[in-house]
Amino acid sequence: MKRFTGDLQSCNYEVSESGQGGITLHVQGKMDASNAATMIETFSDLVKDRQPRSLTVDLQKVSYLDDFGALVLVETRKMMSNGKNHFCLQNVNDEASKVLSILHFESLEKGDPFRKKRPPAMLIRLGEATIHHASDLKFLLSFLGSVCLSLLHVCLHPKSLRRDDTFLCMQKTGVDALPIVGLISFLLGLIMAFMSSVQLRQFGADIYVASLVSLSMTRELGPIMTAIIVAGRSGSAFAAEIGTMKISEEIDALFTMGFDPTRFLVIPKIIASIIVVPLLTLFSDVFAIIGGLVVGILTLDLTANAYITQTIKTLTLFDVFLGVFKSGVFALLIAWIGCLRGFQVKGGASSVGQATTSAVVSSIFLIILFNSVFSVILRYWE
């Protein structure tokens, strides 16, 4: 006779031999969640040690049995039937048999609910991916079309623009972003001036620091940095907002109320972005030039007057307009891709997260791509 105690208060058992290699387990006490894990382990060791021909579990003294207890029995039965050996229960009281019957104890077959679906063959996956991307592309095009149509509609009927939403969006995208855009641009101008001054000083070309900072900022870095900040701040917010509206059926509500979701949600965001992002870019240029000016005065012995005169001499109106025009295009891209990703949300919360990530990544990619295109065009145009 052997007793099972362990650190679990509520249960112990006795083993008795019943001849012809069979054993009987007399379980006593509670069989519940608190001791199920230990019991499974102990019984499996017991079965492995003794290799009994048949196993009977006597439940006469079991005071409480729930589905964790039933699990112990199922697991024990499984271990026995692996070796094609006999398993049975005896003295099952009313309450226990009620629990066992609602759990379909007799018919619980083996099976693993965690089995993953087997990945399909490579050709099938290739085909599925192709179809997936094609339908993505189709959605992208139809969304582009619907945005163009809505924009046209708003141009023809300016009153249909949701003005309050647009102003609110201008505030969130533009005004609220000004401090961070200003700070980053200022530091960027500072760094550029500082790094270039080390080189230019060797040639006594200190004054060209002003040209370098102002030209590179207005033409390239200003629009790009501003666009990246806006993509991170607002593009992600557009995707998350629309995505959440999509999963909580708010988009459906708009549709059945007779509103065009694109005109209602997307157009204010696009118009607001196209207005404020170029303005932010101008601010960014100015702050960067101030950053350069600070370095010029403090480390290069330039006068403020000389620095500003050089800056004005370098910059043409075309450079400034080019930067502003580019940032307008970037703004369109950011708002468009942000809203697109929002509308692509399907399912639950994790999909919103994916859409947000994807909105930022795609807009940064598109910003750089379009910037390269502009550079190539300008190279042959000027």
Partner 1 sequence: MARQAVIQVRDLVARYGEDIIFDRVSFDVYEGEIFVVLGGSGCGKSTLLKHLVGLISPDSGQVIIGGDDISRCDDATFQNVLKKIGVLYQGAALFGSMTLSENVALPIIEYTDLPQRSVATLVRMKLGLVDLDGYENHLPSEISGGMKKRAGLARAMALNPKILFFDEPSAGLDPVTSAELDNLIVHLNRSFGTTIVIVTHELQSIFAVAHRVIMLDKHARGIIAEGDPEYLRDHSQNPFVRQFFNRQTKKNRDGTEEK
* Interacting residues toward partner 1 by CB under 8 A: 32-33, 36-38, 40-41, 66-68, 70-71, 74-75, 78, 98-99, 102-104, 108, 110-117, 346-351
Is the Cβ of residue 99 or residue 217 nearer to partner 1 in the bound state? Answer: 99
Can you list the positions of beta strands (E) in 5-107? Answer: 11-17, 22-31, 54-65, 86-90
Nearest approach, Cβ of residue 102 and partner 1 (Å): 6
Is the Cβ of residue 104 or residue 201 nearer to partner 1 in the bound state? Answer: 104
SS3 253: helix
Strand 86-90 relative to strand 22-31, pairing: unpaired
Report the C-alpha dihedral over residues 252, 258, 261, 266, rounded to 10 degrees.
-160
How is residue 134 written in tokens? 């094609």
Is the Cβ of residue 200 or residue 355 nearer to partner 1 in the bound state? Answer: 355
> Which residues, 6+ apart, have CB-to-CB distance to 54 below 8 Å?
18, 20, 21, 22, 23, 80, 85, 86, 87, 88
Nearest approach, Cβ of residue 316 and partner 1 (Å): 54
Distance between CA 162 and CA 78 in Å, rounded? 66
Nearest approach, Cβ of residue 29 and partner 1 (Å): 16
How is residue 231 written in tokens? 């993509």
Nearest approach, Cβ of residue 352 and partner 1 (Å): 10
Nearest approach, Cβ of residue 21 and partner 1 (Å): 26
Q: What share of the chain is helix, strand, coil (3-state, %, to 5)?
A: 70, 10, 20
Is the Cβ of residue 99 or residue 293 nearer to partner 1 in the bound state? Answer: 99
From the list 377, 360, 339, the residue with the least C-alpha distance to 227 is 360
Q: Are 65 and 59 in contact (CB under 8 A)?
A: yes
Nearest approach, Cβ of residue 81 and partner 1 (Å): 13
Is the Cβ of residue 37 or residue 149 nearer to partner 1 in the bound state? Answer: 37
Is the Cβ of residue 195 or residue 349 nearer to partner 1 in the bound state? Answer: 349
